[in-house]
Chain A
């Protein structure tokens, strides 16, 4: 195998070989920052990749370099305990003979109490994960969610330079997942640590991930920014019934009279009803392909709030009678991409062609209660209460797991994603016409 050039700032991996009956051939390069989700059906090799990154599996002839540091090549293999990683397993796997506190400190350096610029402090972790009340308990007296929070804290306190989370929520029931997710989002917001988040649940990924590695049958079928992969019609995500694009927006203005926030995304602005949001806040949005329709001209009287100029990038067939259209926002087509699912008949009747300037009508935008969202401002157990209260008042979007071929994905609901449905108000002015 030819060794790739080492690039600082990236995580380079090429794992090849077989373990038992399973054969893996997974290569990818992702940035060494933010959350990279590894997504795929059960048995696609996600966990094997994570275990290879951790050094828990040894595949001869493989390669792995983290931010310019070689962990494995043909000459060397760093053993697990020599890799600065944190690993959160599917089951919390706490040490049953130690208290919560001693579990937390097991991998921590001796002077961990002091939180500094480049270290994760003990107090910060127990505050971040709401562990104060659990410290003297024995692991078997914890609930599933509490155990997983301790496991996350324990991994963080070992001062990892890479955090691997192998389906940390999949063994938990829905309410417990909702207990943990806000903590993960806060983690993401507060720590600059690169994270691999392994999941077969797209709704978790839409909430947390910046980058995505898409796996199928032991191969990487796509790797890159989440939005890019979501909007790539050649990949299974865009072709799925629940296809959606996750966008990171910035709040610009809040209109208290109508309760609307103006969110700027690349190439346009969206108006979304929401609790008060301070200007400048980052906010993750989810826009489903089924919530976007296309108009040749801006409608002059419509209840649809968000009509944005856009350019058609591509069109791909999607089952009988439907097409999936990739749109780029902005009259110049340089903005963020959206997916629109429309009928083939509409495509033909409107005379749409690629590279045509059109209007994207966005019927619904979901606000993901991200790290800076209202849900996670309170600390510790209060955060759970706050989140519960917040979630009680809204309806949940239901999104089926991605219909990947041979997918074992379960039917899931994503309560953390707030869906703002179509509003019965007329849009005051049409966006600049093409």
Chain B
């Protein structure tokens, strides 16, 4: 990989950083959300679930455009940015994190929700009869039993953030070291007809995707063995 210019490594590192932070935030946000969705019998829970799932269907440009407006000086993003003297959250790493969190949300919420739903009421009832408070039952029973769902969600969320392109293109501004992530870097190389670099990066992405899907399959296989 010595044939790659240093700005490329910057993109790789930035991408990993973005995906890692996004994944951590997603796990924190998605866990209570998935729990609520799995347990709630309210019909508007399905409406919320549908909203979360929208990025699966919408083209990233739609979400990108809305984000551009929302993150901008006339939207809430601008008010937040003004807290530290900024004008907008667009073109910032933070803005990219927000976009990635929204965009990858369904990939994390869905597996965790399914895993929570698969546990059913019984183990939680058992925990309650053993004097476990709802909080303790959640951490010591629900979360460990939903572990495969968390693994799947984390891997998918990370991978999807690495692979996102349209959204980053629309709100990122292609700033090296801040918003110029891997997928945009590949785009640039293709635009500039620097196919050698594009090839290397694209090949790397293919290997990454392969590793991700293989990991997922192995997780699912293993969890099937552990829980007959």
Contact = CB atoms under 8 A, between A and B. Distances in A.
Interface of A: 54-56, 79-82, 84-87, 89, 91, 93, 95-97, 106-107, 140, 154-155, 158, 164
Nearest to B132: A81
A81 B228 contact: no
A81 B134 contact: yes
27 contacts: A56-B125, A56-B128, A80-B125, A80-B129, A81-B128, A81-B130, A81-B131, A81-B132, A87-B126, A87-B129, A89-B122, A89-B126, A93-B122, A93-B125, A93-B126, A95-B123, A95-B126, A95-B141, A96-B226, A97-B141, A97-B145, A106-B127, A107-B129, A107-B132, A154-B130, A155-B130, A158-B129
Nearest to A86: B129
Contacts of B132: 81, 106-107
Contacts of B131: 81-82, 84, 107, 158
Contacts of B127: 81, 95, 106
A140 B224 CA distance: 12
B228 A140 contact: yes
Given A106-B132, A107-B132, A158-B131, A96 B227 contact: yes
Contacts of A95: 123, 126-127, 141, 145
Interface of B: 122-123, 125-134, 137, 140-141, 144-145, 147, 226-228
Contacts, number: 63
Nearest to B228: A140
Nearest to A82: B131
A158 B145 contact: no
Nearest to B144: A97
A85 B126 CA distance: 11
Contact of A80 (B128, B141, B145, B227): B128
A48 to B, nearest CB: 14
B130 A158 contact: yes
A154 B129 CA distance: 10
A355 to B, nearest CB: 50
A79 B122 CA distance: 16
A89 B144 CA distance: 21
Contacts of A87: 125-126, 129
A415 to B, nearest CB: 30
A85 B128 CA distance: 10
A95 B142 CA distance: 10
A97 B130 contact: no
Nearest to B136: A81
Nearest to B137: A81
Nearest to A91: B122
B98 to A, nearest CB: 34
A158 B129 CA distance: 9
A396 to B, nearest CB: 34
A222 B125 CA distance: 29
A95 B144 CA distance: 10
Contacts of A55: 128
A94 B172 CA distance: 50
Nearest to B146: A97
Contact of B129 (A97, A140, A155): A155
A56 B129 CA distance: 9
A301 B37 CA distance: 78
Nearest to A105: B130
B133 A81 contact: yes
B75 to A, nearest CB: 43
A154 B125 CA distance: 14
Contacts of A140: 227-228
B147 A97 contact: yes
Nearest to A157: B130
Contacts of A91: 122
Contacts of B227: 96, 140
Given A140-B227, A140-B228, A93 B130 contact: no
A166 B131 CA distance: 18
Given A95-B141, A107-B132, 16 more contacts: A56-B128, A56-B129, A80-B125, A81-B128, A81-B129, A81-B131, A81-B137, A84-B131, A89-B122, A95-B123, A95-B126, A95-B145, A96-B145, A106-B130, A106-B140, A158-B131
Contacts of A56: 125, 128-129
Contacts of B228: 140
Nearest to B141: A95
A278 B125 CA distance: 44
Nearest to A151: B126
Contacts of A80: 125, 128-129
A180 to B, nearest CB: 18
A155 B125 CA distance: 12
